[in-house]
Structure 1
């Protein structure tokens, strides 16, 4: 997990603006700074803008050496020291200067907020994450609204080992994004890593699901699919369903995956789906007449074509026999095949009739397969409705949930 970027430059910019505002208010009150104090402080201010904190400290020392300084001159020197310490990257000096100024009660409003922010960042950069979290909380409590500080707070919790605080902070992120607000990818990554760090597999998978929901990158899907398959009790018979998800999320690894996927679909009795896979492989140049496996790929294509033709020729008789059968197994298979052939309305009606008829060996599998086919073939919203009814503890419910995430995000 990467630490959040250093925000010293931002804090320096806030301090320079605050220093200018202080000088303007002082002139308005009739307060002045003698040239022997003001000139080195102006030089220091210019150096701070260039992020030359140590050189600025040398100029501040010149101002500090002037005898009989007024209280106002001392205040300006103290404030300039805080800005120079931040610019120099001296975190301890920044913390000392900022905390002293805040304790003095002589800075308020925007100046005080810059001090609190600078202190939080300094603690973070010196890896005192508990203190960084405390000061960042104070920053927001005092009215700060810099979104980057939310990352500082989350990172401080995570790097400090307080995953409970990370969970609590992100608890408002609901399935719809928490009050309509989309969670940040970095925030979800922190949440995922917290669960990984604490060996909470269920929590980690939940965080991955949110990542694929809002940021559906291939690598998140890869990790998620691997995790789901390694879940205790996950059934090997769901390999075809896993390949379906791999396909739609861009996780098929070349010719071997396409070949195995097509073969599994054909063996399961879904030649129409197998045909789609082969066509996709040729369109992507994964299958080609110029590859070493060209002949094998051609044989598979021919076998699929023949099986589909035979199935279509016998369809009327098969449907008749399925409707007269004692259970709905064959009706579901015929219906799902029709969905893959592009006859979604007719296919869904037959499959639903088969599910309703009952007697299925694995009814959750039937609903999962129907929902998958619908999502892939133009009936996404209705497919989601079917998938949300899928139960089971052997992987069917897990895969159905992933299909819902895919369908709703897509």
Structure 2
């Protein structure tokens, strides 16, 4: 017997059903049914007489149950289920099994039987008689059920089951970022940081190998997973990749916050993070005043004034504000004397036995953007010794970076070790973002 797919759509009345948690399925099925009914030429299903005899009563009972549901009445799914064994025994061809699975899906939907829905969906997707367009709807429904099971397992702290299901989903939907993120989250909860990062980094590598950038959410996930596991080197490396792909002020602020957190009470490091924030156009509105106060305390009136002026120009500081007015007044009074004394300080630094005088005058020269002289003094401080080499190399690298001496800046920054290495790595990231 040949059964028209138009007749099938009218008989099974699947358009009104929807998987639990998947309301889009009903709309998709309705559209598929309308498309089928609107086509003049329909493929036909071939059934044997035995298959026809067993399936016809089943389809009629299913249609009656579906019609009752659409009319707000109670469907008689028990009558449909009673006819299933005979239909299952008779169905031998793919076409018959396709019709049978459609009804099994409808019955499972009517009974809110998630396991039955899964079985019917799997049968339909494995059946070559299932139309390709309908298969896409079925895959979406199957994915929704798997997501429900994975989420339920996650809520129950059954992370092994959640991971297994998300791996299955990710293999079927390799570009679905929500699935990738969920898989990473589950593995992170299992303590498997490397496994959590693997699907995320794979997506990033694929995009970058094609000369593109991955979605920002992937770069965000790539640093948050190791950060949560207290793996700072991996987190900072991922933050640098984030900055390379999305060098927004917000991402720079995020990266600098992580560095500040690792710096503890190091006032000098805090000051240097503010300097990089200013260069990267990432100073927050509420940071200008603390930045200027830190510079004032360090005895750097030139840079103090520059930061206050920048805050006023940005509209986030008011010259009439008491603290702003005080800092600006002090800076203005000191600048002339400070500038006049630089030459003498440089001479004294050259004749000093220790590096401290050279480092102090270099800091002042940096604030006045006299980068060539500042670099000379920082190098002198390194050669004379007695100073924190990591601090001096950080500032030397920043000075050379702003002076446009890229190779020399990179060499100085790569020489930084210890807690300041994180900040040095962000300066390197900023350098990498500049035109060659």
TM-score by length of 1: 0.68
Quick check: 1:166 aligned with 2:211? no
Which moved further from structure 2: 326-335 or 264-273? 326-335
The equivalences for 1:241-256 within 5 A come to 241-247=272-278, 248=280, 250-252=282-284, 254=286
Q: 1:170 to 1:355 in 2, by over 3 A?
A: farther
Conservation of the 8 A alpha-carbon contact between 2:366 and 2:374:
yes
- Give CA deviations for 1:169-207 in whole Å, capped at 9, x if unaligned: 234477997424434333344455544665656655555
Cα-Cα RMSD: 5.2
The answer to whether 1:350 aligns with 2:376 is: yes
1:244–1:111: structure 2 CA closer, same or farther, 3 Å change rule? same
**Counterpart in the other structure of 1:184:** 215
- 1:365 maps to which residue? 391
What are the equivalent positions in structure 2 for 1:89-104 lying under 5 Å apart?
91-102=114-125
| Contact 2:98/2:127 (8 A) holds in 1 | no
Residues 352 and 239 of structure 1: CA distance in aligned 2, closer, same or farther (over 3 Å) = closer
- Contact in 2 for aligned 1:37/1:64 (Cα 8 Å): no
Q: Could you say what secondary structure the match of 1:392 adopts?
A: coil
User: Contact 1:37 / 1:73 at 8 angstroms: preserved in 2?
Assistant: no
- 1:277 to partner: Cα distance: 0.9
Q: Is the 8 A contact 1:330 1:354 kept in 2?
A: no
Shift in CA distance, 373/137, structure 1 to aligned 2, threshold 3 Å: same
Check conservation: 1:328, 1:353, Cα contact below 8 A.
no
Give the C-alpha shift of residue 152 in structure 1.
1.4
Structure 1: tracts of 5 or more residues without a match = 1-5, 46-51
Q: Deviations over 1:337-365 (max 9, x none)?
A: 44443444x33552464256342512221
1:397 aligns with 2:421: yes
Residue 267 and residue 320 in structure 1: after superposition, are their counterparts in 2 closer, same or farther (change >3 A)?
Answer: same
Q: How many residues align?
A: 389
Q: Which has the larger radius of gyration?
A: 2
Give the conservation status (yes or no) of the 8 Å contact 2:375–2:396: no
Tell me what 1:122 maps to.
Answer: 145
Task: Please state if 1:288 is matched with 2:318.
Answer: yes
**What are the equivalent positions in structure 2 for 1:366-381 lying under 5 Å apart?**
366-373=392-399, 375=401, 377=402, 379=404, 381=406
Distance 1:398 1:302, change over 3 A: same
2:181 matches 1:154 = yes
2:309 aligned to which of 264, 275, 279:
279
Whole-angstrom CA distance in 2 between matches of 1:121 and 1:275: 59
Shift of 1:115: 4.4
- 2:10 aligns with none
| TM-score, normalised via structure 2 length | 0.65
CA gap of 1:139–1:174, structure 2 versus 1, over 3 A, is: closer
Give distance in 1, aligned partners of 2:422 and 2:32.
Answer: 54
CA distance in 2 between counterparts of 1:18 and 1:135 reads 28
Q: 1:117 to 1:312 in 2, by over 3 A?
A: same
Unaligned runs of 5+ in 2: 1-19, 155-159
Which SS does the other structure have where 2:410 is aligned?
helix
Paired with 1:315 and 1:83, the residues of 2 have a C-alpha distance of 86
- Report the secondary structure of 1:231's partner residue: helix
**Aligned residues of 1:332 and 1:355 also touching (Cα < 8 A):** yes
Q: How do 1:209-358 and structure 2 match up within 5 A?
A: 210-215=241-246, 224-231=255-262, 235-247=266-278, 248=280, 250-252=282-284, 254=286, 257-291=287-321, 293=322, 296-327=323-354, 329-344=356-371, 346-347=372-373, 349-351=375-377, 353-354=379-380, 357-358=383-384
Mapped to 2, the partners of 1:316 and 1:342 lie a distance apart of 15
Structure 1 residues 302, 289: closer, same or farther in 2, change over 3 A?
closer
**Relative CO higher for 1 or 2, CA cutoff 8 Å, sep ≥ 6?**
1
